[in-house]
Amino acid sequence: MASKRSAKAGGLIMGGGFPVSIQTMWKEPLAPGQLDAAARRIEGLAALGCDILRFAVPDLEAAKTLGLLAARVSMPLVADIHFDWRIALACLDEPIAKIRLNPGNIGARWKVEEVTKKARDKGVPIRIGVNAGSLPEDLRDREDRAGAVVEAALREVAAFEDLGFTDILVSMKASDVEETIAVNRAFAARYDYPLHIGVTEAGPLIPGVVKNTAALVPLLKEGIGDTLRVSLSADMESEVVAGREILAAAGAGRAGVTVVSCPRCARAGFDTHAFSARWSSRLYGLKKNVTVAIMGCVVNGPGEARHADLGITGAGDKVIIFKNGQIARTIRPEEADTVFEEELSAFE
């Protein structure tokens, strides 16, 4: 069941039956002198399909810098805060769309109350994030680890509810696939707060994508999850593209490209790997539903390309471009990028 409640971060609504959003997290310290470059990178992330972006905010200076960046970009930015409620208050003076903070690591009730009061005034939601690797001491040794994670999340939820603050989202993350599924199912069965889902510390690109796919596809198919992050020891762009592909695999994909490409073998007259890598960002930036086939040779190339809106396949020492199932042009390999761009622009 999709969450009934929703939370609004800037122009983005999570939960309430709205499409599942994709997020990632900035991976370096944000320096005040790098805001132009950061804004350009955020534009690139938006083109790939990123809806919301989180930043660690370790001190008051970082809060100020994030505020300057938030004022320059349209994507909702999230401040991730641990321990110091004054940083949360500082972020709430900036145009920051969402806070991630756990009452449990802020400490005194009055500090949490100050934060919730200001968040309510500003209309800024707060995400509670519980991680299986950092549970409260009394829950750490429980045999039922999934139960312990849910219990930890419920304590954090209760701390906010006691203060009358319910503009919240919840994430419960584990690095184990089955545990991730179990905790989210258990929470969704009892509560209707929007859920941020993902496998945490999932590892490098390939194992990370596999674990996240194994955990998130079943949850999404059950209607559990309102926003997702694929945590990878890889770049943000890979996290966003992985998020898109996971949504598509769960039948919750958004409009955009479907890429069919061959693994390449000795028959290839055309380097599909290099071509796919060169065109990845451009293709994922397409807003319409377009199927693109990138194939190495005539064994499977023409067949796949004929079923695509746009196809390119090696054919001996030539390259063939297919459009809407028909051969459109036969060209030399060195012309491939220029001609592909000409043909692709017709689908925008």
What are the residues binding ligand SF4 (CB under 6 A)?
A: 262-265, 267-268, 295-297, 299-301
Are the C-beta atoms of residues 99 and 124 closer than 8 Å to each other?
Answer: yes
- Whole-number minimum distance, CB 293 to ligand SF4, in Å? 10
Backbone angles phi, psi at 93, to 5 degrees: -85, -10
Distance, in Å, from the CA atom of 248 to the CA atom of 166, rounded to the nearest integer, reads 31
144 C-beta neighbours (distance < 10 Å), count: 11
Residue 152: Cβ-neighbour burial (10 angstroms; 0-12, 13-18, 19+): buried
- Whole-number minimum distance, CB 277 to ligand SF4, in Å? 16
- Whole-number minimum distance, CB 297 to ligand SF4, in Å? 3
- Whole-number minimum distance, CB 26 to ligand SF4, in Å? 37
Are the C-beta atoms of residues 319 and 326 closer than 8 Å to each other?
Answer: no
Q: Which is nearer to ligand SF4, 241 or 268 (CB)?
A: 268
Distance, in Å, from the CA atom of 269 to the CA atom of 263, rounded to the nearest integer, reads 13
288 C-beta neighbours (distance < 10 Å), count: 10
Q: Which is nearer to ligand SF4, 56 or 260 (CB)?
A: 260
Distance, in Å, from the CA atom of 198 to the CA atom of 326, rounded to the nearest integer, reads 41
- Whole-number minimum distance, CB 319 to ligand SF4, in Å? 12
Q: Which is nearer to ligand SF4, 214 or 327 (CB)?
A: 327
Q: Which is nearer to ligand SF4, 265 or 277 (CB)?
A: 265
Are the C-beta atoms of residues 100 and 127 closer than 8 Å to each other?
Answer: yes
Alpha carbons within 13 angstroms on the beta-carbon side of residue 233 total: 7
- Whole-number minimum distance, CB 261 to ligand SF4, in Å? 9
**Sign of the alpha-carbon dihedral angle for 80, 84, 88, 90:** negative
Q: Which is nearer to ligand SF4, 126 or 262 (CB)?
A: 262
- Whole-number minimum distance, CB 274 to ligand SF4, in Å? 13
- Whole-number minimum distance, CB 160 to ligand SF4, in Å? 54
Q: Which is nearer to ligand SF4, 37 or 265 (CB)?
A: 265
What is the 8-class DSSP label of residue 254?
-
Closest CA to 249 of 279, 216, 223, 277: 216
- Whole-number minimum distance, CB 331 to ligand SF4, in Å? 18
Q: Which is nearer to ligand SF4, 48 or 262 (CB)?
A: 262
Q: Which is nearer to ligand SF4, 165 or 275 (CB)?
A: 275
Distance, in Å, from the CA atom of 11 to the CA atom of 14, rounded to the nearest integer, reads 10
Residue number, nearest CB to ligand SF4: 296
Distance, in Å, from the CA atom of 175 to the CA atom of 177, rounded to the nearest integer, reads 7
Q: Which is nearer to ligand SF4, 67 or 296 (CB)?
A: 296
The residues, any chain, with a CB within 8 Å of residue 12's CB and separated by 6 or more, are: 21, 51, 52, 76, 97
